[in-house]
Amino acid sequence: MAASTDPSSGRKPQTGQDFADIDADRAEGASIDPADVARFSAQAAEWWDARGPFAPLHRFNPARLSFIRDHVADRFLRDPAKREAFAGLSLIDIGCGGGLIAEPMRRMGFAVTAIDASSENIGTARAHAAEQGLDIAYRAATVEQVEAEGAGPFDVVLVLEIIEHVADPESFLRACSRLVAPGGILIVATLNRTLKSLALGKVAAEYILRWVPAGTHDWRQFVKPDEIRMMLSAEPVAVSGPYGLVYSPLSDRWSESADADVNYMMVATKA
């Protein structure tokens, strides 16, 4: 689908043709953690298996999508009930994995760019999007590479469940914020570093419930909401949140909550 121009921004959102279609064997960037990249690369073929290693993300996705849809709709005065409600807006999904968020974002009308440091993840994501007939600009790259190439800015920047896996969270998050267009929005999702998250987000999730493979997370790398505020304090953005997300074993569903002790989201907007 050809990109349209959003009257509110006067800019043309980026599509796959805005990027060179050549990926390096390994994306390079100061903030990435090679060990985590290798771990997720080894599971790349299983991203779309709803009963596989990424089953928790499949269950988590509806809550994440609702949160993103509603906050972006409020920011850009869009009606989320309309078909392709966000047409004309550009979005980048940083640390996109196999495309579990990028694909529904494209269906909502965004012109989507999605990057990941793992070329294996990008290969899986590209193949699945092609099967679905979705034009998404996938690329094996880091946020530092995207910024250095002058890509963007983007109306929406998504940083979902990735900051706890990078080697330099502040450098990474500040680079992400610099990709936000004037008037745009940055949405971060991560895990809080609390005793509750150690018990539930690490020990229970990995060793008792076996939701994710053991070793997926390092609790010491979980990030507190105030730390995200501090990381972004030097950037021209206004930060709100945290907005908690909690799981109900009775309904087997995630929902927004005032409890941000484990999973939470933050929103940063640029004037």
Residues making up the annotated binding site are 64, 95, 116, 160
The owner of tokens 């269950």 is 59
Burial status of residue 147 (CB atoms within 10 A of its CB: 0-12, 13-18, 19 or more): middle
Provide the 3-class DSSP secondary structure of residue 131: helix
The span from the CA of 160 to the CA of 271, in Å, is 22
Count of residues for the chain? 271
Pairing between β-strand 154-160 and β-strand 237-248 as defined by DSSP bridges: unpaired
Task: Say which residues have a Cβ less than 8 Å from residue 218's Cβ, sequence separation at least 6.
Answer: 164
Pairing between β-strand 253-257 and β-strand 237-248 as defined by DSSP bridges: antiparallel
Residues making up the annotated binding site for S-adenosyl-L-methionine are 64, 95, 116, 160
Give me 259's structure tokens: 């409890």
* Phi and psi, residue 28, nearest 5°: -120, 145
Contact of 237 with 256, CB cutoff 8 Å: no
